[in-house]
Amino acid sequence: MKPTRVLDLVANVVVAALIAWVGTRMMYSAFPPISIYAGASLYPVSAIELVLGFVIRNRINEHRIGDGPHQLHPITAARAVALAKASAQVGSLAAGVWLGFLCWVFPQRGTLRAAAADVSGATVGLLAGLLLVAAALWLEYCCRAPDDPTDDPATT
């Protein structure tokens, strides 16, 4: 498995932002009010992935990988990588949607009272998406296998 490419995540953000901006521009009057809690659901997921990254990194550094008690099973590490890769995609798409929404709402805040009220919720959502991407990339980094020793003969 290859590491997640940051360029792919940036592309997700840009495409999602454009689609969200167009959708918001066309349909904003039909949207419900955006509360500050609307985008906050990604914060607990980010926290869990951050902690999981530290736990896995600790186990790998202490060479506690295997199927014994108090060891990290290799399948668990593989599942954590899959979670990290999926979360990075979800976080980048969510950040893009909130960015697109914010790009339309922010300039309208002076003329539309609803837009002014929605800016804080959209900002919280944007930050939550970015934090999820960061936590996912950290978890993915922590799940890397340690470098293999070289096959070179020992020099004396």
Query: What does the domain layout of the chain look like in residue ranges?
Result: 40-114+130-145
Q: At a CB cut-off of 8 Å and minimum separation 6, what does 56 contact? A: 72, 77, 80, 139, 142, 143
Residues of the chain where predicted confidence (pLDDT) is lower than 70: 147-156
The Cα–Cα gap between 50 and 131 comes to 10
Q: Is 122 exposed, middle or buried (0-12, 13-18, 19+ CB in 10 A)?
A: buried
In the prediction, which pLDDT does 153 show?
Answer: 64
pTM value is 0.88
How big is the chain by its Cα radius of gyration, in Å? 20
In the prediction, which pLDDT does 155 show?
Answer: 57
- pLDDT tens figures, 75-112: 999 999 999 999 999 999 999 999 999 999 998 887 88
The Cα–Cα gap between 24 and 150 comes to 55
Q: At a CB cut-off of 8 Å and minimum separation 6, what does 136 contact? A: 4, 49, 83, 84, 85, 86, 87, 88, 91
